[in-house]
Chains A and B, each alone.
Chain A
Amino acid sequence: MSKQSPFRCARTKLKTLIASTSVGLMLTANAVALPTAEVNKTGLAVTDDTVTVGILHSLTGTMAISETGAQEAEKLAIKQINDMGGILGRKIEIIQEDGASDWPTFAEKSRKLLVKDKVAAVFGCWTSASRKAALPVFEKENGLLYYPTFYEGLEQSKNVIYTGQEATQQIIDGLNWVAKEKGAKTFYLIGSDYIWPRTSMKIARKHIENVLGGKVVGEQYKPLGDTQFGSVINKIRLKKPDVIYAAVVGGSNVAWFKQLKAAGITAKKQTLLTISVTEDEVLGIGGENLEGFYSIMKYFQSQDNPNNKAFVAAFKEMWGEDSVIGDVTQAAYLGPWLWKAAVERAGSFDIDKVVAVSEVGDIELTTAPEGYVKLHPNHHLWSVARVGKWNKDGQAEVVYESELIEPDPFPAGYQ
């Protein structure tokens, strides 16, 4: 859909890139101004030429490391939308709040954004805990949240659009791939000890045992933040699994990979597939400690398509040449674009109308950096699972792409 022109000088290059990203997302160019009374019947913060949205991520505290990229991507998308003339002829204005890595704060700030600021949509939350804290507020005040993180599933709310993968979209194809390509029969599961790794491992175990006919030779959970993996590594050595399947997060993640390497377990001898490493994490872990291991995600920064090249260039232009873009950052970037598409389809900012057209299930983005995405009636996105092999420079090479996978937040037979 978007046409690429050869780029000459840097300045035109950027403009062309932004424009080409935008072309495919532009479905209904709205030159005729719609009266505010028409597009806003529920008292949202919409004027004749502006509409206000909220961004709610942790800028301080332990989660700031992960959430920084997400809010940067959301701001980039909003800036690009504004450069194209905004939504229904209105420029988007942002009110940003800090969740401070504290879950009750997320609920409190959500209430502030919805009740006091009357924002038309909120882009935010990262951990499942923060989403669960904010969810009752969004349901009570009838707000609209675009949530970017891949998560454990088992949830579907009228007031939330999930732009990341639910668990089955990430896990099942990765396991199929490793079973087929590497002939894997035995698996060792290791994760941090909280809801997301545990739910993911539950699905993984069911799939390994019931579908692949393989065997789980060990399952281990380490407390969040733990940095000592010596004993676990010895256990793995004893069990000799074909594949280590890992969902270790945060600071532990770095310690885990550094100690694996120090213990002489490298990609030469051992296949390792992880669902918790994106480019963001690699910055801390160091590419040399991950070389040859695999991640399963829906997006990698190295993806070779025109949409992604434009996105990466625009992101670096706005946030610095050293920026890296992980899976969640890209999913966060989709939020404002999906909202724009839905609002324009509905011809209104009213939450109920926006949700109603979103639930039809045919809102699609052909110029998403990850490729093509479509919104499913169950509020999740159809997406492709990709296996990336890590290089020393901290970028992954995509070695496998699945078909477009239907989101299934309540997978039968996996609970």
Chain B
Amino acid sequence: MLGGYTYGELGSILAMQGFAGFSLFSVLLLMALGLAIIFGQMGVINMAHGEFMAAGAYTTYLISTITEQYFPAFMPYYFVFAIVIAFFVAGALGYLAEYALIRHLYKRPLDTLLATWGLSLIMQQSYRSIFGAREVSPTLPDWLMGSYQPTEMIDIPINGMFVLALTAFVTFAVFYLMYKSNWGLRVRATTQNRIMSGAVGINTKKVDRYTFALGCGIAGIAGAAFTTIASTGPTTGTLYIVDTFMVVVFGGAASLLGTIASAFSIAQAQSILEFFISGSMAKVYTLFALVLILMFKPEGLFANKVRR
């Protein structure tokens, strides 16, 4: 590899390649956080997670279109608001889904899998009917496009840095919420012992509903953020759902720390392998390693001891 390249060139490639790994890490983590909360805290396998993500992405697209038409002067700033609104829209949809569908199925975990898969199909077709089959992209503010050049040879994508920063923010917010707030205490109590939590006066049904809504809301944030990287179509969600489950399962279902570690190792492995071999094979080797590790550690990287 060294032949013909200067150290400066190789150094800059190394820096950019490192960033590519971090960028993939932040994407995986942002997707997996919402799912980890729902799967980890409630034991619900939410197959429609990708579609809640798409809801966030479509919200961003709508706000971009409205802003462009009616408040063009506001264009450079709309994106930040779009993320917040995407959170609430996806969260509200999640709240509704929990109320109408999921809460009736808590005692039948395999049925939630089927029901949420059906929900995902319904949501996909609704997007297709409302927004059309073609993929759409919001018009991004100029400051999000292009690259940052610390030296002549290094280009760091600004959208990648933005997603990284957003992921860090959301992760800290989730940690604070889960481990430092009263609400988080109730969620964790419910996870550990539902009957006892009910006995001490926690409204476990309400906790479930808000936990599900929060998970979906974070999916909405992810959707909004991903509009800077890729486009949005009715089936966008399905592109991400497999990777997301992979991260959550590998990390250990009930552990947020595990989710982070798992996203980081998968992202770095894939990004480094991809630099040396082809993209398809990189994925094959990553998955192969994953299967091997899970064979010896079926509960994932970090397993919480939970009394059921």
> Which A residues contact B (CB, under 8 angstroms)?
59-62, 64-65, 68, 193, 220-223, 225-228, 230-235, 237-238, 251, 254-255, 258-259, 261-265, 280, 283-286, 288
Q: How far is the CB of B66 from chain A (nearest CB, A)?
A: 17
Quick one: CB contact mask for B213-257 with A, threshold 8 Å, 1 for yes?
000000000000010111101111011000000000000000000
Interface residue ranges of B147-161 to A (CB < 8 Å): 147, 149, 155, 157-160
Q: Do A262 and B157 contact each other (CB < 8 Å), given the known contacts A64-B133, A223-B279, A284-B136?
A: yes
How far is A228 from B160 in the complex, measured between Cα atoms in Å? 11
A255 with B20, Cβ < 8 A, contacts A222-B279, A235-B275 known:
no
Q: Is B233 a contact of A223 with CB atoms below 8 Å? A: no
Contact indicator B128/A284 (Cβ below 8 Å): no
Contact in complex: A193, B134 (CB < 8 Å): no
Whether B230 lies near A231 (C-beta < 8 A) is: no
* B180 → A minimal CB distance (Å): 33
B157 touches A65 (CB 8 A): no
Shortest Cβ gap from A329 to chain B (Å): 12
Do A262 and B279 have beta carbons less than 8 Å apart? Answer: no
Give the Cβ gap from A63 to chain B, nearest Cβ, in Å: 9
- B231's contact among A221, A285, A288, by CB below 8 Å, is which? A285
Query: How many B residues, CB 8 Å from partner?
Result: 50
Please list the 5 inter-chain residue pairs (A to B) with the smallest Cβ-Cβ separation, ordered nearest first. A230-B20, A262-B157, A284-B135, A254-B231, A264-B155
Considering the chains assembled together, what is the distance between the CA atoms of A100 and B134 in angstroms?
Answer: 15
Bitwise interface map of B from 271 to 300 toward A, beta carbon under 8 Å scored 1, else 0: 110110011101100000000000000000
- A286 to B: closest C-beta gap in Å: 5
- Could you tell me if A62 and B235 are in contact, using CB atoms closer than 8 angstroms? yes
Whether A254 contacts B137 by the Cβ 8 Å rule is: yes
Contact B134 A68 (CB under 8 A): yes
Bound-state CA distance A60–B134 (Å) is: 11
Contact of B135 among A65, A230, A231 (CB under 8 A): A65
B263 interface residue (CB < 8 Å to A): no
Shortest CB-to-CB span from B24 to chain A, Å, is: 5
Residue B134 contacts which of A226, A235, A264, A280 (CB distance < 8 angstroms)? A280
Q: What CA separation (Å) do A225 and B229 show in the bound complex?
A: 13
Are A234 and B230 in touch, CB under 8 angstroms?
no
Which A residues touch B196, using CB under 8 A?
none
A223 contacts B133, C-beta separation under 8 Å:
no
Q: Are B157 and A263 in contact (CB under 8 A)?
A: yes
User: What residues of A have a CB within 8 angstroms of the CB of B280 in the complex?
Assistant: 193, 221-223
Say if the beta carbon of B17 comes within 8 Å of chain A: yes
In the complex, which residues of chain B have a beta carbon less than 8 angstroms from the beta carbon of A235?
A: 275
* Alpha-carbon distance A237/B158, docked complex (angstroms): 18
Q: Find out whether the CB atom of A227 lies under 8 angstroms from the CB atom of B229.
A: yes
Chain A's closest residue to B19 (CB) is A230
Evaluate contact between A251 and B147: CB separation under 8 angstroms.
no
Which of the listed residues A68, A231, A285 has the most CB atoms from chain B within 10 Å of its own CB? A231
Inter-chain contact A234/B16, CB cutoff 8 Å: yes
List the A residue with the shortest CB-CB distance to B226.
Answer: A227
